Amino acid sequence: MTRDAVDLYALDPHRVWSGFTQLLPIAIFVTVFGVAFGLAAKQMGLDSVSVVLMSTLAFAGAAQFAVLDLWGAQVPLVPLAITVFAINARHLLMGAALFPWLCHLSPAKRYGVMLVVSDANWAMSMQAFGRGESGMGLLLGGGIALWLSWILGSWLGLYVGSVIHDPVSLGLDMVMGCFLLAMAVGGRKSPRVIFIWVVAACSSLIADGYLPENSHVMVGALAGGTFGAFWTEKGQ
């Protein structure tokens, strides 16, 4: 591997800090949704420690909200596990897309980075990789920024959540969707990337029409992720 290639996959403090600062604007909106989650969790009877621990260890906003719908005196573990897996199945697709770059890291670094990968830092890092730049700092640094903001928001929601009890009414639920759409449109459009998204989208649409609710997320992610895993690009 050439020196330039090694530099492309390097995880150095400067790049991590740069990625952290670049994701701070998005982290503000993540904090807002964290506030809404903290409030909702409090209303469901969860104690402060459980709420903060859940956000710290899980870091999965949509899945955490879904868990609250199943929370009660007796938690149905199997439906809960299936729901969480279905919602987070998109990470299979994200992981497959990142594999050509993450495979150059040691297993410890690779899975350490993936612990904080979410939609926003994944999209921005993929754009950087598509331009021939290193996206490792965006992945790790940006992920840390989003993770910390989610924890902070969840904690704040326990005490000041009533201020932003309904982020949907403010249109904040559209922020992340619009951001990801902008990243996808402006990202690299190689045949591999295009076909992965086409396979994922078509599979998801078919599943949405014939399979149970939320399963289209899992089907689309599995189809796109499997396709991407078997089609690797030369030079990566």
Average pLDDT over residues 18-42: 88
**pLDDT per residue as tens digits for the range 55-109:** 999 898 888 888 887 777 777 788 788 878 877 877 887 888 898 889 888 999 9
- Average per-residue pLDDT in the chain? 80
The first and second tokens of residue 97, run together, are 């897309």
16-29 pLDDT, tens digit each: 999 999 999 989 88
Q: Are 204 and 89 in contact (CB under 8 A)?
A: no
pTM score: 0.74
pLDDT at 43 over 90: no
pLDDT at 143 over 90: yes
Q: What percent of the chain has pLDDT over 90?
A: 24
pLDDT in tens, 113-137: 999 999 889 988 988 888 888 899 9
pLDDT in tens, 181-195: 555 555 556 777 778
Q: What is the dihedral of CA 203, 206, 212, 214, to 10 degrees?
A: 50
Average pLDDT over every residue of 198-202: 86
Dist. CA 210–CA 40, nearest whole Å? 32
Q: Kindly report the three-state secondary structure assignment for every residue of the chain.
A: CCHHHHHHCCCCHHHHHHHHHHCHHHHHHHHHHHHHHHHHHHHCCCCHHHHHHHHHHCCCHHHHHHHHHHCCCCCCHHHHHHHHHHHHCHHHHHHHHHHHHHCCCCHHHHHHHHCCCCHHHHHHHHHHHHCCCCCHHHHHHHHHHHHHHHHHHHHHHHHHHHHHCCHHHHCHHHHHHHHHHHHHHHCCCCHHHHHHHHHHHHHHHHHHHHCCCCHHHHHHHHHHHHHHHHCCCCCC
Higher-pLDDT residue of 75, 53: 53
Question: 């949704």: which residue's tokens?
Answer: 33
